[in-house]
Amino acid sequence: MNKIQIIQGDITAGRVDAIVNAANTTLLGGGGVDGAIHRAAGPELFRACLKFNGCPTGEARITPGFQLPANYVIHTPGPIWRGGQFQEAPLLAACYRNSLRLADQSQCQTVDFPSISTGVYAFPLEQAAQIALQTLETELQMTLFVHRVRIVGYDAHTTEVYQTCLNRMISSD
């Protein structure tokens, strides 16, 4: 639990080994955090992503960070919320698990995540926070290199929901 932090800010500004992108299955950019990351990284990121021919929901792919301060970008398409009966929860957990494993395989020590799927993809925020933090907590017991993960909330409400969820996990530990 002491390896996880919640901060508020713009994920593209992070001087970390890897930032995670809440992408879509084309991996060719979009709005929200995906658009911000592609704008800040520059056109080379788009060219690097073209080579993947897309990515299934819940899996992850890694590219350099190009013009970003981060060394790498890990792209993971989150699930679109369709009421909760379409594997949304396990798919969201898979995003965090696969992204963290890929970061560790690339010998990253510090990784920043956005709140995957809770924007355009409409995943309920409280449930998403619980899945994100529980998955990261479990996976961080197995990483060899990653020793600090931050959830970067863009708005105050998102940041607060993750912080409250983390506090609850710490106090029930």
Catalytic pick from 10, 17, 34, 104?
Answer: 34
Task: Pick the closer one to ligand AR6 by CB: 7 or 169.
Answer: 7
Mark whether 34 is an active-site residue. yes
- How far is the first Cα of the chain from the last one, in angstroms, to the nearest whole number? 9
Interaction of residue 155 with ligand AR6, rule CB under 6 A: yes
Region from 51-59, 63-71, 110-118, 164-172 binding ligand AR6, contact rule CB under 6 A: 110-118
Site for ligand AR6 contains 56 (CB under 6 A): no
Residue 157, number of CB atoms within 10 A of its CB? 10
Region binding ligand AR6 by CB under 6 A among candidate stretches 64-72, 102-110, 117-125, 128-136: 117-125
Q: Which of 20, 121, 132, 135 binds ligand AR6 (CB under 6 A)?
A: 121
Find the shortest distance in angstroms from Cβ 144 to ligand AR6: 27
Which of 63, 99, 110, 115 touches ligand AR6 (CB under 6 A)?
Answer: 115
Whole-number Å distance between alpha carbons of 164 and 29:
31
CB 143 within 8 A of CB 107: no
Q: Starting at the edge strand that comes first in sequence, how are the strands of the sheet with 18-23 ordered?
A: 4-8, 148-153, 110-113, 18-23, 72-77, 61-64
Helix axes 125-139, 88-105, angle to 10 degrees: 40
Scanning 54-62, 98-106, 108-116, 128-136 for contacts with ligand AR6 by CB under 6 A, the matching segment is 108-116
154 binding ligand AR6? (CB under 6 A): yes
Determine the Cα–Cα distance for residues 19 and 111; give it in Å rounded to an integer: 6
**Cα angle 104, 150, 68; round to 5:** 75
- Binding residues for ligand AR6 (CB under 6 A): 10-12, 22-24, 30-34, 36, 78, 114-121, 152, 154-155, 158
Catalytic residues: 34
